[in-house]
Amino acid sequence: MSDQRCLALVLHDVAPVTWPAYADFVDQVDALGPIPLTLLVVPDFHGRAPLDRHPEFVRLLQARAASGDELVLHGYYHHDPGPVPLRPREWVMRRVLTHEGEFYPLQAHTARERLQQGLTLMQRLDLPTEAFVPPAWLLGPDARTALAEFPFRYTSSPGALFRLPDFQPLPTPTLVWSARSAWRRWASKRWNQAQLRRHANAPLLRLGLHPVDMQHPQARQYWLDTLERLLIDRRAVTKSQWLDSQLA
């Protein structure tokens, strides 16, 4: 499979409170055939949805993992409620681009604690995971140092997967929508069309979906249409399956 073009359908921010937004879409994807999903799971979304208090959702994740989906640890709270940054770059990264870059400002000891808490919780709930993706793809220097100490296979940014612990980059472009306003949705569609042309021959294309996408029919239909079009000449895989193929 190493010479075959692939796609990975990646659902971000998976949690008990966000899954209802995804549920019908996932049913539609399942109806297309055996398409494994990469599910980025948040242990306690915004501090109000701890996994261990939602046994039905845990059973759903266990069943999806058993059927071939990949579960990825995705932060711990997926929230960055700290004080407003004073430095311009910090302010842009943490307040303009997103309010959810949890692992961007953390010191190493705090990042280490949250990584361990998340990994321990996933293991206790029988939710297998071999990877970590920081919320909003933002990983500060201290958190990066802490992450290298854990037994994860990879992390990722919008443009690459990084093999751990040495952060070896593997370019893997991502399609993603910014769906929170009409002009952003308009721009997202055109940006992704350009990205598809630019990366037509990329070994792996990632489709990065978020719960907010499901609230907008235009975005939701775009993902379904794009998935079906890409499946004509690409194989659907999880990110870990693709990494395995690169080692073959």
Q: Tell me the domain boundaries of the chain.
A: 6-247
Element (H, E) at 183: helix 182-198
Residue 186 pLDDT level (bands cut at 50, 70, 90): confident
Contact status, residue 239 vs residue 40, Cβ threshold 8 Å: no
Cβ neighbourhood burial of 5 (10 Å; 0-12, 13-18, 19+): middle
Residue 105 is predicted with a pLDDT of 83
Instruction: Report how far residue 103's alpha carbon sits from residue 106's, in angstroms, rounded to the nearest whole number.
Output: 6
Q: At 2, give phi and psi (nearest 5°).
A: -65, -25
Residue 100 is predicted with a pLDDT of 67
Is the pLDDT at 80 greater than 80, yes or no?
Answer: no
Residue 189 pLDDT level (bands cut at 50, 70, 90): confident
Mean pLDDT of the chain: 90
**Total-model pTM:** 0.91
Coil, strand or helix at 142: helix
Percent share of the chain, pLDDT over 70: 89
Give tens-digit pLDDT for 81-114. Answer: 565 554 555 534 444 444 667 888 899 999 999 9
Residue 33 pLDDT level (bands cut at 50, 70, 90): very high
The DSSP bridge partners found for residue 140 are none
Residue 94 is predicted with a pLDDT of 45
Any idea which of 44-58, 67-81, 180-194, 197-211 has the lowest mean pLDDT? Answer: 180-194
Q: What percent helix, strand, coil does the chain show, rounded to 5?
A: 45, 20, 35
- What is the radius of gyration, based on Cα positions, of the chain? 17
Q: Phi-psi region for residue 47, left (φ > 0), alpha (ψ -120 to 50) or beta?
A: left
CATH architecture of 6-247: Alpha-Beta Barrel (3.20)
Q: What is the mean pLDDT of residues 115-142?
A: 96
Residue 184 is predicted with a pLDDT of 77
